[in-house]
Copies of this chain bind each other. A is one copy, B any other.
Amino acid sequence: MSTAVVSYTLNGRSGVSATTRERVLRVADELGWRPATAARSLRSGPAAAALVVVHDQPFGTRAAFPLDLVTGALQTLGPDTLTLAVHVAESPAGAAQLMDRWWTERRYAAFVVTGVRVDDARLAALRTLPAPAVVVGAVVDGAPATWQHVVLDDGDAFAQLGAFLAELGHRRIAMVAGSEHHVAPVRRSAALAAALVPFGIELRTVAGDGPERAAAALRPLLSASDRPTAIVTDDDATAGLVLDVARRLGLGVPWDLSVVAGTDSPACYLTTPSLTAVPYPVEELGRATGRALRAALSTAASRRAVGVDPTEGEAPPSGTVPVGRLVVRGSTAPPAGG
Binding site for B on A (CB under 8 A): 32-42, 46, 50, 53, 55, 58-61, 63-64, 66-68, 70-71, 74, 79, 83-88, 90, 98, 101-102, 104-107, 211, 237, 240-241, 244, 247-248, 265-267, 270-272
Contact = CB atoms under 8 A, between A and B. Distances in A.
A59 B104 contact: no
Contacts of A59: 266
Contacts of A41: 37-38
B88 A87 contact: no
27 contacts: A32-B104, A37-B106, A37-B107, A38-B40, A38-B41, A39-B42, A55-B64, A55-B67, A55-B68, A55-B71, A61-B63, A64-B64, A66-B67, A67-B86, A70-B87, A70-B88, A71-B88, A79-B101, A84-B87, A85-B85, A85-B87, A86-B86, A86-B87, A211-B270, A237-B267, A240-B270, A244-B272
Contact of A79 (B39, B98, B237): B98
Interface centre among A46, A84, A104 (most CB of B within 10 A): A104
A58 B266 contact: yes
Given A37-B107, A86-B88, 17 more contacts: A33-B104, A34-B101, A38-B106, A55-B67, A58-B64, A58-B68, A60-B266, A61-B63, A61-B267, A70-B87, A70-B88, A71-B90, A83-B87, A84-B87, A237-B267, A244-B272, A247-B272
A53 B86 CA distance: 11
